[in-house]
């Protein structure tokens, strides 16, 4: 017996409707906001993520699934969706077309993490990217889109926003951060000691309890924003208020990826603990140029589908159950079963959800099975019915039966 790899999960047939519900709701919302789907490969050249996610991030330093292929190329399974979308946007020439370019994806992502509830090694994201627009109204639109989706899914979440400025304001802030952390350097975790030298902003994103405590008193980026970044953040707040979306400012949100500039945001569920961030995103004006395109602003977010489902489950959100068969056709003997088989095929061809026996069950067991399937009607074919080209159709809810000609069955069930 071979087991499933650690940190991965099966979606079983009886549960897949929940995934489909979240995915189709996400697609609906995306369409309302004029986004089209982009699909990029599951693996890319490793360098794309090294440059696009950033050399100092946990993702690149510790979490990537990287291997040499048989042609000795370094390949990495995508740990997130943005880098691939940006690569494709540039490579396809879309970056030279009509702007903004608004797109979304639903994709698996792979990170070698310590598996916990809501933290997997293969997980799935619904992600959104808007390329080409620099104003805060676009950041607000991305946030409103995420908010619309989360509300449609029945989730109770809190929105936290922050601005991490541009490279100019960040230089001053990084200096202030270094001064603040220096006396505490000894007490920081191993990773934070490295972050201190390479990218002090990352220190604010540490998940170690001790580091979190020290972080609580760190200086706020908001005191270091330049005039333009400050105005951009004000504009974001104005747009969110216009949209009627409530938010709280949390100056400690910096996001795990290196390419963010200005707006960053997280939607956090109030009902689950540690892995409560169901959706996160921000602006990344430096990324497209970093990946070889002409400089172009961009904003986006990604929501973790597993986490959405966990929160929905924990808060008792009802997901519409999949349809049950309209009719189960039961045959009494071998000849009647053959008729049930061909009738089911004819009915399905006309769009009727029909099921039959495949296990050579007795008629009694077939009724039991039909009931288990939730079939609305059972059409019984015995010797007499077969001779008359009719079936005895029983409504499972009322127990009432009537005789229906084979030729009339499609029309009969299409109205049920
Ligand atoms: P976290 O701080 O929880 O590690 P992150 O900052 O690494 O999250 P992002 O890279 O922004 O997360 O990914 C966007 C979303 O994808 C997260 O908000 C979360 O909902 C989901 N997500 C991220 N990593 C995982 C994982 N290992 N398993 C399941 N979902 C994940
Ligand atoms: Mg992470």
| Model pLDDT for residues 296-341, shown as the tens digit of each residue | 999 999 999 999 999 999 989 999 999 999 999 999 999 999 999 9
The secondary structure of residue 414, as a DSSP letter, is: H
Q: How many angstroms is it from 344 CA to the middle of ligand 2? A: 49
Nearest-CA residue for atom 18 of ligand 1: 279
Closest by CA position to 325, among listed 303, 347, 358: 347
The terminus-to-terminus CA distance of the chain in angstroms comes to 45
For 262-281, write each residue's pLDDT tens digit: 999 999 998 766 678 999 99
- How high is the pLDDT of residue 64? 98
Task: Count the residues in the chain.
Answer: 416
Q: Are strands 327-331 and 377-381 parallel, antiparallel or unpaired?
A: parallel
Cα 17 from Cα 156, distance rounded (Å): 22
| Residue 408 CB neighbours (<10 A) | 12
Structure tokens that stand for 258 in this block: 């290196």
Contact 127, 301 (CB under 8 A): yes
Structure tokens that stand for 331 in this block: 């045959």
Cα 409 from Cα 347, distance rounded (Å): 8
In the chain, CATH 3.30.930.10 sits at 16-166+226-314
Nearest-CA residue for atom 19 of ligand 1: 304
Q: How many angstroms is it from 253 CA to the middle of ligand 1? A: 14
pLDDT surpasses 90 at 202: no
Task: Determine which of 169-178, 220-229, 370-379 has the lowest per-residue pLDDT on average.
Answer: 169-178
For 220-252, write each residue's pLDDT tens digit: 999 999 999 999 999 999 999 999 999 999 998
Ligand located closest to 274 CA? 1
Cα 255 from Cα 393, distance rounded (Å): 60
- How high is the pLDDT of residue 105? 98
Query: What residues flank ligand 1, with Cβ below 6 Å?
Result: 80, 111, 113, 118-120, 123, 125, 256, 275, 277-280, 302-304, 306-307
Nearest-atom number in ligand 1 for the CA of 281 is 11
Looking at 92-196, which runs of residues are DSSP E strands?
101-110, 122-131, 157-163
Instruction: Report the residue among 58, 276, 280, 305 best suited for mutation to probe ligand 1: largest number of ligand atoms under 8 A from its CB.
Output: 280
For 98-149, write each residue's pLDDT tens digit: 999 999 999 999 999 999 999 999 999 999 999 999 999 999 999 999 999 9
In the chain, CATH 3.40.50.800 sits at 327-414
- How high is the pLDDT of residue 416? 87
Q: Is 165 exposed, middle or buried (0-12, 13-18, 19+ CB in 10 A)?
A: buried
Cα 383 from Cα 114, distance rounded (Å): 62
Q: How many angstroms is it from 404 CA to the middle of ligand 2? A: 60
Q: How many angstroms is it from 123 CA to the middle of ligand 2? A: 11
Q: How many angstroms is it from 134 CA to the middle of ligand 2? A: 27
pLDDT surpasses 70 at 201: yes
pLDDT band at residue 216, thresholds of 50, 70 and 90? confident
- What architecture does CATH give domain 327-414? 3-Layer(aba) Sandwich (3.40)
Q: What angle do CA 37, 302, 54 make, to 5 degrees?
A: 110
Ligand located closest to 256 CA? 1
Q: Give the chain's count of helices (H) and strands (E).
A: 15, 16
Instruction: Report the residue among 107, 123, 303 best suited for mutation to probe ligand 1: largest number of ligand atoms under 8 A from its CB.
Output: 123
Torsion of CA 230, 236, 237, 243, to 10 degrees: 170
| Residue 411 CB neighbours (<10 A) | 11
Q: How many angstroms is it from 63 CA to the middle of ligand 2? A: 9
Contact 165, 221 (CB under 8 A): yes
pLDDT surpasses 80 at 368: yes
Cα 114 from Cα 109, distance rounded (Å): 15
How far is CA 211 from each of CA 177, 190, 208, 305, rounded to the nearest angstrom?
13, 10, 5, 29
Nearest-CA residue for atom 2 of ligand 1: 256
> Mean per-residue pLDDT for 256-260?
72
The DSSP result for 126-145, as a single string, is EEEEEES--SHHHHHHHHHH
Q: Which CATH number fits domain 16-166+226-314: 3.40.50.300, 3.40.640.10, 3.30.930.10, 2.60.120.260?
A: 3.30.930.10
User: Which residues, other chains included, contact 98 with Cβ-Cβ below 8 Å and sequence gap of 6+?
Assistant: none
- How high is the pLDDT of residue 272? 67
Residue carrying the six token digits 């395109």: 293
Instruction: Report the residue among 109, 204, 258, 281 best suited for mutation to probe ligand 1: largest number of ligand atoms under 8 A from its CB.
Output: 109
- Whole-model pTM: value is 0.94
Nearest-CA residue for atom 26 of ligand 1: 119
Nearest-atom number in ligand 1 for the CA of 121 is 27
| Residue 78 CB neighbours (<10 A) | 25
Nearest-CA residue for atom 16 of ligand 1: 304
Contact 62, 112 (CB under 8 A): yes
pLDDT surpasses 90 at 60: yes
- Using DSSP's 3-state secondary structure scheme, residue 386 falls into helix
Nearest-atom number in ligand 1 for the CA of 115 is 27
Q: How many angstroms is it from 349 CA to the middle of ligand 1? A: 44
């Amino acid at each position: 017996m071979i087991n499933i790899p650690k940190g991965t999960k099966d979606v079983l047939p009886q549960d897949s409707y929940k995934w489909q519900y979240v995915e189709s709701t996400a697609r609906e919302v995306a369409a309302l906001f004029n986004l089209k789907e982009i699909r990029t490969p599951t693996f890319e050249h490793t360098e794309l993520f090294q440059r696009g996610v950033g050399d100092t991030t946990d993702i690149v330093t510790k979490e990537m699934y990287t291997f040499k292929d048989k042609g000795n190329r370094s390949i990495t399974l995508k740990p997130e969706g943005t880098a691939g979308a940006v690569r494709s946007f540039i490579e396809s020439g879309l970056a030279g077309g009509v702007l903004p370019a608004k797109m979304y994806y639903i994709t698996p992502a792979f990170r070698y993490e310590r598996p916990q509830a809501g933290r997997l090694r293969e997980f799935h994201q619904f992600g959104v990217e808007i390329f080409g627009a620099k104003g805060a109204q676009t950041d607000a639109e991305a946030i409103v889109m995420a908010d619309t989706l989360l509300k449609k899914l029945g989730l109770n979440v809190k929105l936290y926003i922050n601005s991490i400025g541009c490279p100019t304001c960040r230089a001053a802030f990084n200096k202030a951060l270094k001064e603040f952390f220096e006396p505490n350097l000894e007490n920081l975790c191993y990773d934070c000691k490295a972050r201190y030298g390479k990218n002090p902003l990352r220190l604010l994103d540490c998940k170690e309890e001790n580091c979190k405590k020290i972080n609580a008193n760190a200086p706020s980026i908001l005191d270091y924003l330049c005039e333009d970044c400050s105005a951009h953040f004000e504009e974001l707040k104005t747009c969110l208020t216009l949209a009627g979306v409530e938010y709280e400012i949390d100056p400690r949100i910096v996001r795990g990826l290196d390419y963010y500039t200005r707006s960053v945001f997280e939607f956090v569920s109030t009902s689950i603990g540690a892995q409560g961030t169901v959706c996160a995103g921000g602006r990344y004006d430096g990324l497209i140029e970093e990946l070889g395109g002409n400089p172009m602003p961009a904003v986006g977010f990604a929501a973790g589908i597993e986490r959405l489902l966990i929160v929905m489950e924990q808060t008792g959100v009802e997901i519409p159950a999949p349809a049950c068969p309209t009719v189960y056709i039961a045959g009494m003997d071998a000849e009647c079963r053959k008729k049930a088989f061909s009738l089911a095929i004819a009915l399905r061809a006309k769009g009727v959800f029909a099921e039959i026996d495949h296990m050579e069950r007795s008629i009694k067991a077939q009724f039991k099975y039909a009931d288990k399937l939730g079939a609305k009607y059972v059409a019984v074919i015995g010797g007499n019915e077969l001779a008359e080209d009719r079936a005895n159709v029983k409504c499972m809810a009322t127990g009432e039966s009537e005789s229906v000609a084979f030729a009339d069955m499609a029309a009969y069930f299409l109205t049920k």
